Amino acid sequence: MKNTIFTGIATALITPLTENGVDYDALARLIDWQIDEGINALVICGTTGEASTLTDDEHREAIRFAVKQAAGRVPIIAGTGSNDTEYAIELTRSACADGADGVLVVTPYYNKATQSGLIRMFSAIADAATAPVILYNVPSRTGVNILPKTVQALAEHPNIVGIKEASGNISQIAETISLIGDKMDVYSGNDDQIVPILALGGKGCISVLSNPLPRKTVEICDRFFAGDVAGSAKLQLDMLPLINALFSEVNPIPAKAAMAAMGFCEDYLRLPLTSMEDAHRAVLMEELRRHGALNG
């Protein structure tokens, strides 16, 4: 069994932005609050962190800053994927040199790849990394799916330790877990599938929901691992309307709106992302109030 980077919930953290760039004061407050609320790990510069519109300097500095701010209190996992393998290797090396505890590498988007191309790309990045690698399968965004037998092949690489599964296909995820055994950790990439994936042997979730509700999201896993499967499922289902509200528009639009309403950042996104539409925002705010994240 390879070393597990984290068990439970890792927040796919938003990146607080203003028209002048990354708001590092706000990022520090977010990191400290997430840790104080009991989060198990943090993902910096992933999809929810708007990595696709950060400059190269912003991307690298945000990772360095998060590692320094966390100061070893929780693992920091850096998003370092790209559809340009050489750039992904450079970014991975930089994140590892700056102290990231792991890297999250997404499937290549737009140019896509065959399954053999995926194996060669992920292997090249893992060869270059000095921190463990988590694969990220999100075909709805990238247009390419990591098939179970491909995951099985990649599980043989000593530095590939996990996969964030956001395909939404429970049957595929079950097949993947059956093929890899204990050679790789599996994390849900969808907040509405935390309990089902835990039930199949998953180690947790890389979560958007835990941006506004870290403690309650962690409790889903804590209850499950303590043997209270019914209680875990009840929490999951109770939060389903909030999860749906957080994905009523393209992530991270609702997550950024939620964290701004809670006073952590500006509701500022870079184009092509735009602020949340009023009708969706009203539903999101009502759900945040229902769960105690907002007063009034």
The pLDDT tens digits for 71-88 are 999 999 999 999 999 999
Q: Which domains does the chain have, with CATH numbers?
A: 8-215 (3.20.20.70)
Per-residue pLDDT at 1 exceeds 90: no
- SS3 for the chain is CCCCCCCEEEEECCCCEECCEECHHHHHHHHHHHHHCCCCEEEECCCCCCHHHCCHHHHHHHHHHHHHHHCCCCCEEEECCCCCHHHHHHHHHHHHHCCCCEEEEECCCCCCCCHHHHHHHHHHHHHHCCCCEEEEECHHHHCCCCCHHHHHHHCCCCCEEEEEECCCCHHHHHHHHHHHCCCCEEEECCHHHHHHHHHCCCCEEEECCCCCCHHHHHHHHHHHHCCCHHHHHHHHHHCHHHHHHHCCCCCCHHHHHHHHHCCCCCCCCCCCCCCCCHHHHHHHHHHHHHCCCCCC
Confidence of residue 285 (pLDDT cuts 50, 70, 90): very high
pTM above 0.85, yes or no: yes
**Contacts for 295 with CB less than 8 Å, ≥ 6 apart:** 289
Give pLDDT, residue 296: 61
Region 35-60: mean pLDDT is 97
**Proportion of the chain above pLDDT 70, given as a percent:** 99
Confidence of residue 2 (pLDDT cuts 50, 70, 90): confident
User: Which residues are catalytically annotated?
Assistant: 136, 164
Per-residue pLDDT at 55 exceeds 70: yes
Per-residue pLDDT at 47 exceeds 70: yes
**Contacts for 275 with CB less than 8 Å, ≥ 6 apart:** 253, 257, 267, 269
- Alpha-carbon gap, residue 163 to 106, rounded angstroms: 10
- Alpha-carbon gap, residue 62 to 85, rounded angstroms: 21
Give pLDDT, residue 295: 82
Give pLDDT, residue 237: 97
Region 139-149: mean pLDDT is 96
Per-residue pLDDT at 177 exceeds 80: yes
Mean pLDDT of the chain: 97
The pLDDT tens digits for 206-236 are 999 999 999 999 999 999 999 999 999 999 9
Per-residue pLDDT at 96 exceeds 70: yes
Region 24-47: mean pLDDT is 98
What does the buried/exposed string (b/e) look like for 225-234 if buried means 16 or more CB atoms within 10 Å of the residue's CB? eeeeeeebbe
Give pLDDT, residue 3: 87
